[in-house]
Amino acid sequence: MRVTFVPDPEADDALERAELLLTLRKRGIRDPLLMRAFEQVPRERFVDPACRSLAWVDQALPISCGQTISQPAVVALMTEALDLKPSHSVLEIGTGSGYHAAILGQIAERVVTLERFRTLAQAAAERLRRLGYTNIEVVVADGSAGYAPRAPYDRIIITAAVNEVPPALFDQLRQGGVLVAPVGPPQDTQMLTRFALTADGIVKREMVPVRFVPLLKGVAQVL
């Protein structure tokens, strides 16, 4: 279910939200569905309470388990590159706080998001449930293996750095589908890359340099 939120008068971030939307427009983000999603999703609900005052600033912020909630401009760029439609099913690798999943869920029909840290997955699932999303499924799983039970997907997005896209993810991408990922050395700058699966093979387009935490295999045993 795509959700319409009524701002809390005691926590009204209207000005900061408007400034962020203006920043995204200046960066060239034009998709009206995407801009509407950024307007609707309350980012302050996804950040650590200590970072609450920075919720609408265009910067990445730390969350639990040594992970981050991505910079809004990067979230917007990656999502716009997906060319997302309301009929699409999406696989997200790396749930984190659940913020990017919420942005995707505002547009797509169905989102499956995978997280290797159980505590992050549980917190994100509860957060999304409280916000009213019924079209987002949070799964504790190894993101490099994808999630075959819901495949194929129209769109796949990887929110962690990979040296190369795991073959299992291309196997779960529908013909005509799009995959977006930061590709490059995990401890260095990566190149945000768009892959389109066509009848003639995979068409690759490099976009902009980015920095993401690495995609790790397996499910975390402690957190």
- pLDDT, tens digit (0-9, with 9 covering 90-100), for 12-53: 578 888 999 999 999 999 999 999 999 999 999 999 888 989
Half-sphere exposure of 108 (CA within 13 A, CB side): 28
Phi, psi values for residue 93, rounded to 5°: -100, 110
**Whether residue 174 has pLDDT greater than 60:** yes
Cα distance between residue 33 and residue 11, in whole Å: 25
SS3 label, residue 160: coil
Q: Give the residue extent of every domain in the chain.
A: 10-210
Q: What is the pLDDT of residues 89-116, one digit of tens each?
A: 999 999 999 999 999 999 999 999 999 9
**Residue-level pLDDT at 127:** 97
Half-sphere exposure of 11 (CA within 13 A, CB side): 13
Cα distance between residue 73 and residue 186, in whole Å: 20
- Locate all alpha helices (DSSP H) within 42-146, ordered by sequence: 72-81, 99-107, 118-130
Is 87 known to be catalytic?
no
**Residue-level pLDDT at 5:** 56
Q: What is the CATH number of domain 10-210?
A: 3.40.50.150
* 53 exposure class (CB count in 10 Å sphere: 0-12, 13-18, 19+): exposed
* 61 exposure class (CB count in 10 Å sphere: 0-12, 13-18, 19+): buried
What is the gyration radius of the CA atoms in the chain, in angstroms? Answer: 16
**Residue-level pLDDT at 13:** 73
pTM confidence score: 0.91
Select which of 53, 64, 70, 87 is catalytic.
70
